[in-house]
């Protein structure tokens, strides 16, 4: 997907002015609320007309104030998943799913109904009324409805913000399937750095109606580490756990991590904040933290008042954060060996 | 029924039901686009049209009837138009009564529909548009089904209000049996002729009818109906 956009839109107390060209299938739009993200996607979808400018998607002009072009939303083949599920309450799950499919010209129908319901695990829900679904099920139906419209671009406007934390991570694999299994490029709008990293490769950063950066999602998370209360969130891929003295031992690369969280949930991912990693210059003889990893410092980076330390541990990467004084005291330089201590309770298992 | 009511009474009730049915259907067709426009427009004319629609709520029926009579008369604009079209004069005909009742009951159709359309909001229609539905398509497949409770309320209110009209009927239709002598006029005639027994019976029928209509409206809430209609 190649999207070129140069638009301006003014409201009484807010002006959005953005110009960029982005090439990629998993693009993020990042910014705090009120930064203009939703205005941007509304203009892309054709729900809001820019005051001036141009929008070109894959060579086709969707809007041009100079040429007097403004394709209607139904002519753009850009589907949307909204914050709220916005399902049609008068239609059951099947007919909600088929709403866009029936209106999609036959030549564009590459995704069929049965494949979709299989991937999104909607088979058992098809005849149900949408008012009787759980929050996660509703969002899956909304996602399926948008995918089945066989769009050339899918806009996801903070689709996880209305869901609670555990549900968010259950839905993410389904959202990723849009690109991975159905080959539809998407624009993912969010104010969450973790969601950005999980869902996108690159991100457009908006602040107060202006585009302030266009970086990789990984870079964005590192840049924001110093000012984020949660720090940088390391996402760890874990193997199958075994129980050891009241804790769970998870294989992690060539190493093993002890987590105090139970093993009852099927999981493969855990979160670990950069703030929860303590660095030692030498091997501490005895510490209460249950995980002590020997690491090699790969690089250092500045983020606000903090310094990020990229560590290589047992074939994996970890980001820890320290203050500059600690960097000097510990003599942390790229290539040096260092010990990272992590409490067993510092990890948070992600469902799904 | 014939035991209780005279033939003339039954004739007037039948006429009333026929009038109310025709007016309700006509207003469903005319009132829906007006309500849709009022619910969605940002035009300054919204206030003007809204006020015009609401006029019959506050205007004495005789005033409305008087102006309609003038407009429909041989020298009035409507009268001249109907003569040119070969329809003939409207006053003192069933057709004239229908036209007058449409104006008289307009707010009872438009306002509940407007509320229903407004309560749907923009979002469902935007969703439909991003899924490839044209505005007309989205109107019929999303807005209309979602506004169904509003349509039921508006239809019931319009029907009931037309059944109860009196002043406008007298002004436009007069008191012609089988043409314009509706139930309310028939009751008036009975009272004028001191036929209190007949007036009582007719009035009781009207009272029971009105109560049942309102009971239906308040007890059986259309909004809570299960709606799983096919697309």
pLDDT tens digits in sequence order for chain B, 231 residues long? 445 677 888 888 888 888 999 999 999 999 999 999 999 998 999 999 999 999 999 988 888 888 988 898 888 888 888 888 888 778 888 888 898 899 999 999 999 999 999 999 999 999 999 999 999 999 999 999 999 999 999 999 999 889 888 888 888 877 788 777 888 888 888 898 888 988 898 888 888 888 888 888 778 765 444 443 334
Distances (CA, A) of B69 to A270, B73, B77: 80, 6, 11
User: Is the CB of B145 inside 8 Å of chain A's CB atoms?
Assistant: yes
Fold of A2-227: Rossmann fold (3.40.50)
- Residue range(s) defining the domain that contains residue B71: 16-175
Domain with CATH 2.40.50.100 in chain A: 233-351
Place of tokens 């104030």: A65
ipTM: 0.86
Q: What whole-number distance in Å separates Cα of residue A8 and Cα of residue A53?
A: 6
Residue B3: predicted pLDDT: 55
Q: Are strands A69-70 and A242-244 parallel, antiparallel or unpaired?
A: unpaired
Using the beta-carbon criterion (under 8 Å), do A84 and B127 form an inter-chain contact? no
- Among candidates A323, A301, A273, which has minimal Cα distance to A309? A301
Distances (CA, A) of B225 to A132, A350, B144, B145, B229: 14, 40, 15, 12, 11
Query: Given B130, B134, B145, which is nearest A90 (Cβ)?
Result: B145
Dig out the tokens for B198 from the structure. 């007949």
Residue A346: predicted pLDDT: 93
Report how many Cβ contacts below 8 Å link chain A to chain B: 73
In this prediction, the residues of chain A whose per-residue pLDDT falls under 50 are: none
User: Is the CB of B130 inside 8 Å of chain A's CB atoms?
Assistant: yes
- Among candidates A74, A83, A113, which has minimal Cα distance to A95? A113
- Are the CB atoms for B173 and B10 separated by under 8 Å? no
Domain count, chain B: 1
Is B57 exposed, middle or buried, given 0-12, 13-18 or 19+ CB atoms closer than 10 A? Answer: exposed
Residue B1: predicted pLDDT: 47
- Are the CB atoms for A294 and A280 separated by under 8 Å? no
Nearest chain A residue to B126 by CA distance is: A47
Using the beta-carbon criterion (under 8 Å), do A95 and B230 form an inter-chain contact? yes
Residues whose CB is less than 8 angstroms from the CB of residue A132 and which lie 6 or more positions away in sequence, other chains included:
none
Edge-to-edge strands of the sheet including A242-244? A242-244, A247-252, A255-259
Sign of CA dihedral A160, A162, A165, A168: negative
Q: What whole-number distance in Å separates Cα of residue B208 and Cα of residue A10?
A: 58
Q: What is the pLDDT of residues A127-162, one digit of tens each?
A: 999 999 998 899 999 999 999 999 999 999 999 888
Query: Given A89, A104, A129, which is nearest B132 (Cβ)?
Result: A104
Q: Flag whether B104 is in a domain.
A: yes
Instruction: Give the other-Cβ count within 10 Å of A127's Cβ.
Output: 10
Domain with CATH 3.40.50.300 in chain A: 2-227
Instruction: DSSP letter for A24, please.
Output: -
- Are the CB atoms for A222 and A191 separated by under 8 Å? no
Residue A264: predicted pLDDT: 56
Q: What whole-number distance in Å separates Cα of residue B3 and Cα of residue A250?
A: 90
User: Is the CB of B227 inside 8 Å of chain A's CB atoms?
Assistant: yes
Using the beta-carbon criterion (under 8 Å), do A79 and B130 form an inter-chain contact? yes
The C-alpha of A97 sits at a distance from chain B's nearest C-alpha, in angstroms, of: 10
Q: CATH number for the domain including B150?
A: 1.10.3720.10
Spelled out in words, what is the top-level CATH class assigned to the domain A233-351? mainly beta
Residue B80: predicted pLDDT: 85
Q: Flag whether B153 is in a domain.
A: yes
Using the beta-carbon criterion (under 8 Å), do A47 and B227 form an inter-chain contact? no
Distances (CA, A) of B46 to A231, B50, B142: 52, 6, 23
- CB burial of B126-149 (b: ≥16 within 10 Å; e: otherwise) equals bbbbbbbbeeeebbebbbbbbbbb
Distances (CA, A) of B43 to B47, B49, B50, B159: 8, 10, 12, 30
Which residues of chain B are within 8 Å of residue A94 when distances are taken between CB atoms? none
Place of tokens 């209106």: A103
Which residues of chain A are within 8 Å of residue B128 when distances are taken between CB atoms? 88, 99
Dig out the tokens for A316 from the structure. 């994996």
- Are the CB atoms for A190 and A158 separated by under 8 Å? yes
Residue B154: predicted pLDDT: 94
Q: Flag whether B10 is in a domain.
A: no
């Amino acid at each position: 997907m190649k999207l070129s956009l140069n638009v301006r839109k003014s409201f009484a107390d807010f002006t959005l002015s953005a110009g960029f060209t982005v090439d990629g299938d998993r693009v993020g739009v990042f910014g705090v609320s009120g930064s203009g993200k939703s205005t941007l996607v509304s203009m892309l979808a054709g729900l809001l007309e820019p005051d001036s400018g141009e929008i070109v998607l894959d060579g086709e002009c969707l809007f041009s104030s100079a040429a007097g072009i403004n394709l209607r939303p139904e002519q753009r083949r850009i589907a949307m998943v909204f914050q709220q599920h916005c399902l049609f309450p008068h239609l059951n799950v099947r007919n909600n799913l088929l709403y866009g499919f029936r209106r999609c010209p036959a030549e564009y129908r590459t995704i069929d109904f049965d494949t979709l319901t299989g991937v999104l695990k909607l088979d058992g829900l098809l005849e149900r009324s949408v008012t009787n679904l759980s929050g996660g099920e509703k969002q899956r139906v909304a996602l399926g409805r948008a995918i089945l419209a066989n769009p050339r671009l899918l806009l996801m406007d903070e689709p996880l913000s209305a869901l609670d934390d555990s549900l968010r991570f259950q839905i993410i694999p389904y959202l990723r399937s849009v690109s991975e299994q159905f080959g539809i490029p998407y624009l993912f709008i969010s104010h969450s750095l973790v969601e950005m990293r999980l869902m996108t490769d690159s991100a457009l950063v908006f602040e107060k109606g202006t585009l302030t950066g266009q970086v990789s999602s990984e870079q964005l998370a590192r840049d924001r580490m110093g000012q984020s209360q949660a720090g940088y969130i390391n996402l760890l891929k874990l193997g199958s756990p075994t129980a050891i003295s009241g804790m769970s031992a998870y294989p992690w690369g060539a190493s093993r991590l002890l987590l105090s969280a139970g093993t009852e949930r099927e999981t493969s991912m855990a979160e670990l904040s950069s703030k929860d990693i303590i660095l030692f210059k030498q091997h501490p003889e005895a510490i209460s933290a249950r995980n002590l990893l020997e690491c090699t410092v790969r690089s250092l980076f500045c983020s606000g008042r903090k310094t990020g330390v990229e560590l290589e541990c047992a074939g994996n990467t970890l980001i820890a954060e320290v203050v500059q004084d600690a960097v000097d005291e510990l003599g942390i330089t790229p290539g040096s060996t260092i010990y990272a201590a992590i409490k067993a309770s510092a990890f948070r298992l992600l469902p799904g | 029924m014939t035991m209780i009511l005279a033939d003339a009474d039954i004739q007037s009730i039948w006429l009333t039901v026929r009038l109310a049915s025709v007016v309700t259907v006509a207003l469903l067709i005319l009132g829906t686009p007006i309500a849709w426009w009022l619910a969605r427009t940002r035009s300054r004319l919204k206030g003007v049209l809204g006020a015009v629609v609401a006029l019959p709520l506050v205007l004495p029926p005789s005033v409305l009837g008087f102006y309609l009579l003038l407009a429909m008369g041989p020298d009035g604009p409507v009268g001249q138009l109907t003569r040119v079209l070969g329809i003939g004069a409207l006053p003192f005909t069933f057709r004239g009564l229908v036209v007058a009742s449409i104006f008289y009951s307009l707010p009872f159709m438009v306002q509940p529909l407007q509320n229903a359309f407004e309560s749907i909001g923009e979002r469902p229609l935007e969703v439909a548009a991003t899924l490839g539905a044209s505005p007309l398509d989205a109107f019929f497949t999303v807005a209309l089904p979602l506004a169904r409770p509003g349509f039921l309320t508006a239809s019931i209110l319009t029907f009931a209000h037309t059944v109860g009209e009196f002043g406008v009927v007298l002004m436009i239709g007069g008191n012609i049996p089988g043409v314009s002598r509706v139930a309310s006029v028939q009751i008036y005639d009975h009272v004028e002729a001191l036929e209190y027994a007949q007036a009582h019976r007719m009035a009781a029928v009207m009272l029971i009818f009105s109560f049942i209509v309102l009971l239906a409206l308040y007890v059986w809430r259309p909004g809570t109906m299960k709606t799983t209609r096919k697309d």
